[in-house]
């Protein structure tokens, strides 16, 4: 069994490979949310049982890059947006064009781990249908890692009280056009969707993956809220799920 990745190792690869690449978000985004990538990597690493494990990252590919460089596993990326495949190719990462709003992703060779980090809230389709398609892309016993914003996070509650917009407009996705948050889910909702897709839930948790924010005011508010979030987990920012395709 390989030893766990140290933060120093993560920081070196993150700064070199992620901060040094051209991705969709503003560069400041990756500086602000380094902690979230570090903590999410820990959940992914717990599902990778060997360097022979094959990994599929649903999204822009940051976790495929991190896992390839830090864990030594072969990795691919699946996304509707193909504008950032050059950096993936330079790093030995394959790319699969995939539209999760349609049935049956074109994947023939099953993966050991599928990562869906901060994605399901962007997909205008019932999650159990998406998870069912991804289950078919996992080998028996393979793991699905899901992170997503918590519907009841404090930010949403505060905006709702003030009558502010919480979600983006619900529209059909188009190729190479970024999508916003159509909908966010509660822990109970996504537990139901995972089970409805025939997956076994190994972990279901309300967590703070980071204390960053898109503005100085948001970062200050998150620091001030830390004591309350320890007492009131329902207001925490993120949901994390580890699910498994049954072996039988």
Write the secondary structure of the chain as one string of H (helix), E (strand) and C (coil): CCCCCCHHHHHHHHHHHHCCCCCCCCHHHHHHCHHHHHHHHHHHHCCCCCCCCCEEEECCCHHHHHHHHHHCCCEEEEECCCCCHHHHHHCCCEEEECCCCCCCCCCCCCEEEEEEECCHHHCCCCHHHHHHHHHCCEEEEEEEEEEEEECCCHHHHHHHHHCCCCCCCCCCCCCCCCCCCCCCECHHHHHHHHHHCCCEEEEEEEECCCCCCCCHHHHHHHHHHHHHHHHCHHHCCEEEEEEECCCC
The pLDDT tens digits for 73-116 are: 999 999 877 777 888 888 899 998 888 888 766 677 899 999 99
Q: Which of the four pLDDT bands, split at 50, 70 and 90, describes residue 173?
A: low
Q: Which CATH architecture has domain 7-244?
A: 3-Layer(aba) Sandwich (3.40)
The pLDDT tens digits for 219-233 are: 666 676 777 777 789
Residue 218: the pLDDT is: 64
Which stretch, 15-19, 211-215, 218-222, 239-243, has highest mean pLDDT?
239-243
């Amino acid at each position: 069994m390989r030893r766990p990745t140290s933060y120093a190792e993560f920081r070196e690869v993150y700064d070199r490979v992620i901060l040094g690449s051209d991705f969709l978000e503003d560069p400041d985004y990756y500086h602000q949310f380094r902690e979230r990538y570090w903590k999410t990597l820990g959940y992914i690493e717990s599902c990778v049982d060997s360097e022979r494990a094959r990994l599929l990252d649903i999204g822009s590919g940051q976790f495929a890059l991190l896992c390839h460089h830090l864990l030594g596993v072969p990795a691919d990326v699946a996304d509707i947006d193909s504008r950032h495949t050059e950096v993936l190719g330079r790093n030995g990462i394959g790319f699969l064009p995939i539209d999760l709003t349609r049935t049956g992703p074109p994947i023939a060779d099953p993966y050991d781990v599928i990562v869906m980090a901060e994605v399901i809230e962007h997909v205008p389709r019932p999650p159990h249908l998406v998870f069912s398609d991804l289950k078919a892309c996992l080998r028996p016993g393979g793991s699905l890692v899901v992170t997503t914003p918590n519907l009841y996070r404090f930010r949403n509650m505060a905006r709702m009280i003030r009558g502010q917009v919480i979600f983006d407009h619900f529209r059909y996705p188009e190729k190479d056009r970024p999508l916003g948050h159509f909908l966010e889910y509660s822990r109970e909702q996504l537990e139901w969707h995972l089970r409805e897709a025939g997956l076994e839930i190994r972990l279901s948790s309300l967590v703070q993956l980071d204390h960053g924010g898109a503005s100085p005011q948001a970062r200050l508010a998150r620091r001030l809220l830390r004591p309350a979030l320890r007492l009131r987990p329902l207001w925490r920012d993120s949901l994390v799920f580890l699910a498994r395709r049954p072996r039988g």
